[in-house]
Amino acid sequence: MTPQRAGADADPARGRALLELAGVTKRFGDLVANDDVSLSVGAGEVVAMLGENGAGKSTLMKIAYGLVRPDAGELRVDGRPVQLGSPRDAMRAGIGMVTQEFSLVETMTVSENVALSAVGLGRVDAAANRRRVMAAMERLGVQIEPERLVATLSIGERQRVEIVKALFHDCRVLILDEPTAVLTPQDVRSLFETIARLRTDGLGVLFVSHKLREVAEISDRVVVLRRGRMVGDRPTASVDEAELAALMMGGAASAAAAPAGPSQSRAGAVADPVGGAVGLGVETRPTAGPAEARPEPVLRLTDLGVSTGRRALLSGISLTVGAGEIVGIAGISGNGQTELVDVLAGVRPASSGTVHVAGRDLTRADVATRLAAGLGRLTEDRRGSLVPQMSVEHNLVLEDLPRFTSRGLLDRGAVRRHAEQLIERFDIRARPGDPVATLSGGNMQKVLLARSLVREPRVLVVAQPTRGLDVGSYAYVHEQLAALRDRGAGVLVVSEDLDELRGLCDRVAVLFRGRIVGELPIAEASSERLGLMMTGVEVAT
Amino acid sequence: MSLNLLALLGAMLTIATPLIWAGVGELVVERTGVLNLGIEGTMYLGAFVGFLVALRTGSPWLGLLAAVASGVVAGVLMGLFAVTLGLNQHVSGLGLTLLLIAVCEFTFRMLYAGERPTLDTKFDVLLPGVEVLDQHWLTYVAFLVLAPGSWWVLRSTGAGYRLRAVGESFEAADVAGISVSGVRYAALMVGGAFMAVGGAFLTLSVLGSFTLDIINGRGWVCIALVIFARWRVWPAVCGALIFAGTDALQLQLAITPAFGDVPRELMLALPYLAVIVALAVWGRSVRYPGSYLKAHRRA
């Protein structure tokens, strides 16, 4: 155990780089998770790493902890290069980590868990171990009975045990991967107090988050990761939340990648201070919009809620999509998007509220009834909606089997003709007999689009329609959705890609923790404002 | 009815011995999340190799040593399939059992076609003539050293912590700097050695000879015992005693005139029925170890 460092000892050490990552690159197949990322954490310094989901934060943290090996780049501890082949090496080098999914063994006690990586093979002196665990907890101001089974602890308590565990093997740099994602506000308070103690003790802390407000509160320095690249490294004192949101979401920086669309408000919004944005948000309540100016709603959600047990995953969702309108749902994933799409698709029951399509109540309708009523959907997981081993032609008729069967037999000629027509019309680069598994992501999405659009749905719900697609397919999907809107259907687009939403939608609603925290006409939906709403900073209800 | 209770008790302890050796071996392995269906074959291998070496060298001690070594090798083989290659554990284990039994049978037939070799010296019982306590030393070790020892190791040593952590959540073990495959290999080797001793007990202590049906499903009984015991040592010992007690009982009943009309096959099936009943009653809603049957992979 490291003794409590006296202030006089700690001061000269402060600021010296404890952990450095230099030029770290990691690829998974075609995906570049980290691209030439460099980063350092000094003694007595709290560095916050910001980034959207999928920006590569977790991969980078896993590299720093020896769980993932980088393809290129170097790690240095105290200025000396180190090779981290496993978490054991990382621990030896003085690096500790609290992972996003806690790494505790539920069937073992707190002290057994804490000692796990510190004991030898022989007898464990339970009493001595207990004393050491207690001492470590005291140092952190944590009070948990060491003999309790981890299974009986709350989430906040488990996290504290994780930190105690990391400190138990003398770590000098502590990595916290999205530590507040699962905590209650009270637990976040006590976590921040713990982090402050660690800083005073001269530890380096790397704090991964996508919540701007927390970052501003706890860190000395902020680094921002976007699409695997480091796009910013600033002292916290010198940046404001709006600027961070812009960096994180790729506001001005991503203009080249953005498709043509109503995204002209960017320049004005960058200059918008946070306060101004909040003020604007209050003015534009969804109810304040001129209702009669809106087109007739084809999809109406009223006070929709989903809960499992006591936990509410979605609550009070009220939203309309008009005929000839595209409405976007923005939000960081895990804030209720999956549940919303599932409820609309009819694969998860709503626990409250109603779903109306063109005035018809479909709240309790089964999937087939929904399809027949003109409610189409493209789910987030392409492979989940297709049968990969089956051919393109069979996948194309999967939702429409009665039309192609007579007396239980599939009319193979009709299926083939149907497929050939759709392949032609939707420019699918495949033969009818090809297994869907052999298609590219873009062509898979075209198969799904074709299957949904050929039914001419009155409402189409799409989730992450362009995730992982190349530029060409991206534009194609957008064209098709826009064309569907122009034919008078309503489209609800759930996406994490703000550029996509701003290029495609007429209105954007933001989901945060299962609630709609605001709804903006596209002209007012700058990346900055959406970013603030997505991270719960700005609430405009 | 002339049931000899003391004889029954003595037979129960002897019959339970191989089940405790192999059962504890399986339990140790399964605590790391690996189901070793190679147990039946490993017991067979231990029985055969122990017998063969004892026969050739004249020393049951060397035979036992060889059996232990063969069990370790069987454990390494299982590790190669289920840990290193990450293959399906059911298929790996069953394959290993089939392979080991076939190899032993083949070798035995090649060497001793038509003969029935017996050992000149096998292990003697301790305390001969004292009822119930006239047991083999491996029986004493099973009850007095193996069972309490493995219980203690699992509960209060760092090795036990590692084993349980790997079996419950190998992600957690990995992050804690524990080598998941290292722990699994170690458990497979130690467990394999225990299984092989269980098999060798039959040839080196009880029979002094080798027959082709020597294990006769005892390995499968151990698999059931471990689940029945929910991966805890003492309940597994109790389960072994229940099975052994039923087996000893049917052996006695078979020579009791009053049961002369009951088909022999039905009597033989009795202990296995007992296992099925026990599993049906106590084996339901079992919480399996968290990483049971899962292969561990890292990017």
Contacts of B299 in chain A (CB under 8 A): 28, 62, 67-69
Under the phi-then-psi rule, with left for phi > 0, alpha for psi from -120 to 50, and beta for the rest, what region is B76? alpha
Q: Cβ separation of A107 and B178 shorter than 8 Å?
A: no
Please give the C-alpha separations between residue B98 and each of A505, B5, B45, B95, B295, in angstroms, as whole numbers. 63, 38, 11, 5, 22
Longest CA pairwise span in chain A (Å): 88
Nearest to B19 by CA among B229, B210, B220, B272: B220
Say how far apart CA A131 and CA A116 lie, in whole Å: 15
Nearest to A400 by CA among A345, A333, A453: A453
On chain A, the residues whose CB falls within 8 A of the CB of B187 are none
Of B162, B177, B290, which has the smallest distance from its Cβ to A86's Cβ? B177
Q: Where are the alpha helices (DSSP H) in A14-67?
A: 57-64
Label residue B79 by pLDDT band (50, 70, 90): very high
| pLDDT tens, residue by residue, B238-269 | 999 999 999 999 988 888 888 878 888 888 88
Taking the CA of residue B227 and the nearest CA in chain A, the distance in Å comes to 17
Domain count, chain B: 1
Contacts for B42 with CB less than 8 Å, ≥ 6 apart: B22, B25, B36, B71, B74, B75, B96, B97, B100, B192, B195, B196, B199, B219
Count the Cβ atoms, other than its own, within 10 Å of residue B109: 11
Residue from the list B161, B172, B179 with its beta carbon closest to the beta carbon of A119: B161
Which pLDDT does position A291 carry in this prediction? Answer: 42
Instruction: Output the pLDDT for position B10.
Output: 93
In DSSP notation, A203-266 reads: -EEEEEES-HHHHHHH-SEEEEEETTEEEEEEEGGG--HHHHHHHHHTTGGGTTTSPSSS-TTH
**pLDDT score, position A54:** 65
Contact partners, residue A175, CB within 8 Å, separation at least 6: A61, A64, A65, A95, A96, A97, A98, A205, A206, A208
Q: How many CB pairs under 8 A join A and B?
A: 84
Which residues of B fall within a CB distance of 8 Å from A106?
Answer: 168-169, 290
Quick check: B177 and A117 CB within 8 A? yes
CB atoms within 10 A of CB A291: 9
Strands A221-226 and A409-410, bridge-based pairing = unpaired
Q: Where are the alpha helices (DSSP H) in A352-428?
A: 367-372, 382-385, 392-396, 401-404, 412-425
**Residue A141 gets which letter from DSSP?**
T
Contact B132, B144 (CB under 8 A): no
CB-nearest to B177 from A87, A123, A126 is A87
Query: CB distance A124–B157 less than 8 Å?
Result: yes
Alpha carbon distances (Å) from B204 to A333, B47, B73, B189:
64, 8, 20, 21
How far is the CA of A534 from the CAs of A47, A250, A526, in angstroms? 22, 14, 12
Kindly list the residues from chain B whose CB atom is less than 8 angstroms away from the CB atom of residue A120. 158
Residues A91, B177: C-beta atoms closer than 8 Å: yes
Cβ neighbours of A109 in B, within 8 Å: none
| Contact yes or no for A108 and B165 at CB 8 A | yes
CATH superfamily of A257-374+458-541: P-loop containing nucleotide triphosphate hydrolases (3.40.50.300)
Task: Say if CB A178 and CB A101 are below 8 A apart.
Answer: no
Task: Name the strand (E) or helix (H) holding A24.
Answer: strand A17-28
| pLDDT for position A541 | 47
Which pLDDT score, from 0 to 100, does residue A287 have? 37
Predicted local distance difference test score (pLDDT) of residue A289: 39
CA-nearest residue of chain A to B168? A105
Distance CA A70, CA A49 (A): 18
Residue B176 with chain A: CB contacts under 8 Å? 87, 103, 116-117, 165
pLDDT at res. A9: 40
* Residues from chain A contacting residue B158 (CB–CB below 8 Å): 115, 119-124
B contacts of A105 (beta carbons < 8 Å): 164-165, 168-169, 172-173, 290
In a domain, B126, yes or no: yes
Among A87, A102, A123, select the one facing B157 at the smallest CB separation.
A123
Give the residue from B175, B181, B286, B298 with the most A CB atoms within 10 Å of its CB, the best one to mutate. B175
Q: Which amino acid does the sequence have at A4?
A: Q
Domain locations in chain A as residue ranges: 14-110+171-239, 257-374+458-541, 382-454
Average pLDDT over residues B285-295: 83
What pLDDT, on a 0 to 100 scale, did the predictor assign at position A280?
29
Rama region for A369: left / alpha / beta (φ>0; ψ in -120 to 50; rest)? alpha
Give the list of residues 6+ apart from residue A248 with CB closer than 8 angstroms, or none.
A50, A51, A52, A55, A210, A212, A224, A226, A531
B179/A104 Cβ within 8 A: no
Q: To probe the interface with B, which of A62, A105, A125, A161 has the most B CB atoms within 10 Å?
A: A105
Q: Which CATH number fits the domain A14-110+171-239, given the four candidates 3.40.50.300, 3.40.30.10, 1.10.10.10, 3.30.590.10?
A: 3.40.50.300
Look at the block and give the residue holding tokens 């011995």.
B17
For residue B148, the distance in angstroms to the closest alpha carbon of chain A comes to 14
Whether residue A224 contacts residue A51, with contact meaning beta carbons closer than 8 Å, is answered with: yes
Q: What are phi and psi of A513, to 5 degrees?
A: 50, 45
pLDDT in tens, chain A (541 residues): 444 434 334 344 445 789 999 999 998 777 788 999 999 999 999 999 988 766 788 889 989 998 889 999 999 999 899 999 888 889 889 999 988 777 899 889 999 998 887 788 888 888 888 888 888 888 887 888 999 999 888 777 888 898 888 888 788 999 998 887 666 666 788 889 889 999 998 999 999 887 777 888 899 999 998 888 899 899 998 888 888 878 877 654 333 333 333 333 333 333 333 333 332 223 333 333 344 455 678 999 999 999 877 778 899 999 999 999 999 998 877 788 888 998 998 888 899 999 999 889 999 988 888 988 999 988 877 767 888 888 999 999 888 888 888 888 888 889 999 999 999 988 888 889 888 888 877 788 889 999 989 889 999 999 988 876 665 677 888 999 999 999 999 999 998 777 788 889 999 999 988 899 989 998 888 877 887 888 777 665 4
Residue from A107, A109, A176 whose CB has the most chain B CBs within 10 Å, to mutate: A107
Measured at the CA of A262, the angle between CA A258 and CA A268, to 5 degrees, comes to 90
- The whole-model pTM stands at 0.66
Q: Contact B290/A106, CB-based, under 8 Å?
A: yes
Using alpha carbons, select from A409, A433, A410, A413 the residue that is nearest to residue A423.
Answer: A433
Q: What is the pLDDT of residue A437?
A: 82
Map tokens 């796990």 to a residue: A116
Residue B93 lies inside a defined structural domain of this protein: yes
Nearest by CB to residue A99, choosing from B168, B175, B179, is B175
User: Does residue B282 sit within a domain?
Assistant: no
Asked whether residue B103 is assigned to any structural domain, the reply reads yes
Cα gap B13→B18, rounded to integer Å: 10
The predicted pLDDT at position A53 comes to: 60
pLDDT higher than 90, residue B283 = no
Among B178, B290, B298, whose Cβ lies nearest the Cβ of A67?
Answer: B298
Distance from CA of B289 to the nearest CA of A (A): 9
Q: Which residue of A has its CA nearest to B165?
A: A105
Asked whether residue B45 is domain-assigned, the answer is: yes
In angstroms, the separation between the Cα of residue A6 and the nearest Cα of chain B is 29
CB A160 within 8 A of CB B192: no
Q: Report CB contact under 8 Å: A86, B299.
A: no
Inter-chain residue contact A117 with B157, CB threshold 8 Å? no
Q: What share of chain A is helix, strand, coil (3-state, %, to 5)?
A: 40, 25, 35
Using CB atoms, pick whichever of B157, B161, B176 lies closest to residue A87: B176
Residues of chain B with Cβ-Cβ distance to A28 below 8 Å are 299
pLDDT of residue B198: 98
Q: Which domain range does residue B168 map to?
A: 18-217
